Amino acid sequence: MGGFPTRPSRTSFGPDYEDERPVQDSKREVGAGIFNLGFWQLAGVGRVSPRVVLFCAVAGSACTTVQQMLAFDPDGLLGLLTWTYNGAGSYSIAFASQYPDELGNDINVSLLGGIALSASSSPLVGSVEMTSAYEATVHFASDPTDFVMVLW
């Protein structure tokens, strides 16, 4: 099943399984009901989980990604993303438009929206403006010392 990081549906995991015969020993055999429930839950979690979580530090006009967790980089091999400072409290970031799925096929990034929160002693809530499916601008009322951005 290729296609990650697209949002999964239950059908992307294949058809509902059926037991060929009744489960005789539930400690040694897995019935179809368990597989079906697991795929149902996995699809649901995949549809609501964030695609991007970035922890960022701000110093003057420099915004630096300190830590990143990207659904389309499960091994953490990508370099830290870089930010553009647009002015007081405004920072932009761009992802590549495509990333390879687990089969090596390039898949379009489709980020829908997000939220940004400062983690400093005087918390600020920022807004996230999606300027494209793979570009975002974070807006705060003033420059925070750090923030977390979560995108879906």
Q: Which helix (H) or strand (E) holds 46?
A: helix 32-48
Name the DSSP letter for residue 10.
Answer: G
Name the DSSP letter for residue 11.
Answer: G
Q: Which residues are paired to 100 by β-bridges?
A: 106
Tens-digit pLDDT profile for residues 80-127: 999 999 999 999 999 999 999 888 889 899 899 999 999 775 778 999
103 phi/psi in degrees, rounded to 5: -100, 0
Tens-digit pLDDT profile for residues 45-85: 988 899 999 999 999 899 999 999 999 998 999 999 999 99
Provide the CB-side half-sphere exposure for 146 (13 A, CA).
Answer: 11
> 2 falls in which pLDDT band (50, 70, 90)?
low
Q: What is the pTM of this model?
A: 0.83
Cβ 12 vs Cβ 1: under 8 Å: yes
